[in-house]
Structure 1
Amino acid sequence: MSSCYVLGNRVDPLTLAGAVARVTEFIRAGTPHHVVTLNAEIAYRAYCEPELQALINRAHLVTADGAGILWAARKLGTPLPERVTGIDLLQALAVAGARQGWRFYLYGAAPGVAEAAAARLQKEHPGLVVAGTSHGYLSSREIPGLIEAIKAARPHILLVGLGAPKQEYWIASHLEELQVPVAMGVGGSFDVLAGRVQRAPAWVQRLNLEWLYRVIQEPGRVKRTLALPKFMLVVLRQAHKRD
């Protein structure tokens, strides 16, 4: 199936299983690949920020991270098969990675969080290889050392939890230098895995209210959610023009 576009941002019409299969192909190829999990907030920001939109559209895989993207795709006449969030894809890749011997590197979040997230992943997926971790509060002077540490660890998958779109810009800037087969931004997934933040219950996810659950847990996110009505308005305008 061909990609669809939401506010000019490419989204690949894949299920979670399809996304894992695509990542498996990237690892077999061995060349660097950038994976983006796109939600409505970042889609709207990219709509207003051409540099970010170009980065997203250059990525090797873009998944629909959130109900907002699915809703927009339906409105624009190019429905997507299902939501593929960053944390769900991360967990699915951990399952496949434990089976296939892939090496993972976790970079991001506050000190101690990536290590705790790695420990939980290894407990839940026996045999999973974590080649290294680093927190995300490094100075610019420390980044060259991080780059060398990642290169020395030779991961198949680099998970970057710096928050979007900072993590997307970071990956794009260092992908060729790192030569990691797969680099993927995972937002706040390390905090969830480490138990610092609770993910919304399944019933809340089914109601497409996970964003509200996050805001209740982290009131500081309120300002970010103001992009959602703007996103919906632009989508409705574009859908109206289609009709």
Structure 2
Amino acid sequence: MSTTILGNRVDALTLAAAVARVGDFIASGSSHHIVTMNAEIAYLAYREPRLQEVINSADLVTADGSGILWAARSLGTPLPERVTGIDLLQALAAEGARQGWRFFLYGAAPGVAAAAAKRLQQEHPGLIIAGTSHGYLGPDAMPILVAEIQAARPHILLVGLGAPKQEYWIAAHLQELQVPVAMGVGGSFDVLAGRVQRAPLWMQRLNLEWLYRVIKEPKRVKRTLALPKFMLAVRQEARR
């Protein structure tokens, strides 16, 4: 099941169900794109048809943020729970360590993806990291990166280029990468590497993780200006 928020599809499923869906994707052998959509990206896609097409063409779109849950409730199609990129990443790493799935991490500043991979292996013994690459690569380096990912043969490719750049990159390269699952994870590598601290659990439970990020990174204030616009657009859609 799925619902639509400002023209963007989002799947109605729990974290456990998302992990199970990924298992099905891997078993199928074909390539799949996962988008973790928050309110900011949903509003951007509402105004940018090309991004909305990428989202609606993805094989799985999760509700990454309390804003998406609020919007779904407001439109009369509530979702079961929030499924954030970093939570899904961690759940997939846990399952991957049990199943023998191979992971490749691409994105963030030099050294960050490697540090994130090391952290994941410490937290999930047995996890296979097939390779890592930083995200500061120019167009000329793309063929080399694609060949490196192909040679590593990961089951899951995690792309941390920030949204929507990572969504466009995955959509452009998914078929030639030949990976069963590719997922954009935003700034998750920075969190795993210890460069950025995640909000305390009590703030996560109160859906205030966005506020914590703004307090820690005041430059994000400009990005949060999309939230009231998103809410207004959802209200207008609900009235229609």
Give the deviation of 1:153 after TM superposition. 0.1
Greater CA drift, 112-121 or 204-213: 204-213
Give the Cα separation in 1 of the matches to 2:164 and 2:205. 26
Letter in 2 for 1:121: L
Match of 1:102 in 2: 101
1:213 aligns to 2:239 (yes or no): no
Alignment of 1:83-232 (within 5 A): 83-232=82-231
Give the deviation of 1:98 after TM superposition. 0.2
Letter in 1 for 2:207: N
Cα-to-partner distance string for 1:43-77 (whole Å, 9 max, x where unaligned): 00000000100110000000000000000000001
Letter in 2 for 1:175: L
Letter in 1 for 2:18: A
Gaps of 5+ in 1: none
Letter in 2 for 1:56: I
Percent identity of the aligned residues?
A: 78
Greater CA drift, 207-216 or 163-172: 207-216
RMSD: 0.5
Greater CA drift, 150-159 or 212-221: 212-221
Match of 1:51 in 2: 50
Greater CA drift, 208-217 or 122-131: 208-217
The list of structure 1 runs, each at least 4 consecutive aligned residues, that deviate by more than 2 angstroms after superposition, is none
Give the Cα separation in 2 of the matches to 1:124 and 1:150. 24
> SS of 2:4's equivalent?
strand
Alignment of 1:58-77 (within 5 A): 58-77=57-76
> SS of 1:11's equivalent?
strand
Give the deviation of 1:209 after TM superposition. 1.0
The alignment's TM-score, normalised by the length of structure 1, stands at: 0.98
> SS of 1:187's equivalent?
coil
Give the deviation of 1:218 after TM superposition. 1.3
Give the deviation of 1:208 after TM superposition. 1.2
Give the Cα separation in 2 of the matches to 1:43 and 1:224. 13
Give the Cα separation in 2 of the matches to 1:161 and 1:237. 33
Give the deviation of 1:231 after TM superposition. 0.1
1:82 aligns to 2:84 (yes or no): no
Give the deviation of 1:97 after TM superposition. 0.2
Cα-to-partner distance string for 1:115-141 (whole Å, 9 max, x where unaligned): 000000000000000000000001111
Give the deviation of 1:221 after TM superposition. 1.2
Greater CA drift, 202-211 or 64-73: 202-211
Letter in 2 for 1:155: P
